[in-house]
């Protein structure tokens, strides 16, 4: 017995065209097991390590996006860790900026230097977390990692 490659209808061996759809049957290979296609585990269609990396790309914003659209525990962990880490750092930066801005011009100059150091530390943390996620590690930051693990379940 042969099978139509277009509609899957079973046809006799000596028939050249499918009786249902008219597709040619001559060059049809014998039916066998379906080819194995490795499907990504992530619900977004991405590999989990790539989705984990993307959780950090725009800080807490991409973390929030992946938290709502992803079901994979690994990706959700990195999404929650991104939300908590970079959300808290951004709030801290805003609050400290307001405090230093209100006081005096000298304090504003000091804040500019502190802000530069703060930004460089954030950049290093951002790169570290993206690399760890891409390498399929559930790298937990102190305290924040425990919260992320708790809320990603």
Query: What are the domain boundaries of the chain?
Result: 48-152
How many angstroms separate the CA atoms of 99 and 33, rounded? Answer: 68
Residue 145 half-sphere exposure toward CB, CA atoms < 13 A: 10
Residue 126: what pLDDT?
93
- pLDDT by residue, tens only, the chain of 153 residues: 566 777 767 777 777 777 777 778 765 455 555 444 444 566 677 888 898 999 999 989 999 999 999 888 889 999 999 999 999 999 998 888 777 766 667 777 787 888 899 899 999 999 999 999 999 888 888 998 888 888 887
Residue 112: what pLDDT?
82
Cβ(130)–Cβ(50) below 8 Å: no
């Amino acid at each position: 017995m042969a099978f139509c490659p277009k509609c899957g209808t079973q046809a006799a061996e000596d028939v050249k065209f499918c009786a249902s759809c008219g597709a040619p049957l001559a060059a049809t290979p014998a039916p066998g097991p379906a080819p194995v296609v490795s499907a990504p585990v992530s619900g977004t269609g991405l590999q989990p390590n790539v989705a984990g990396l993307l959780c950090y790309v725009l800080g807490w914003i991409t973390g929030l996006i992946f938290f709502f659209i992803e079901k994979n525990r690994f990706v959700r962990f990195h999404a929650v860790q991104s939300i908590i880490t970079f959300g808290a750092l951004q709030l801290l930066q805003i609050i400290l900026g307001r405090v230093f801005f209100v006081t005096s011009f000298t304090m504003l100059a000091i804040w500019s230097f502190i802000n530069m150091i703060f930004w460089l530390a954030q950049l290093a943390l951002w790169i570290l977390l993206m690399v760890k996620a891409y390498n399929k590690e559930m790298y937990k930051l102190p305290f924040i990692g425990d919260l992320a693990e708790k809320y990603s379940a």
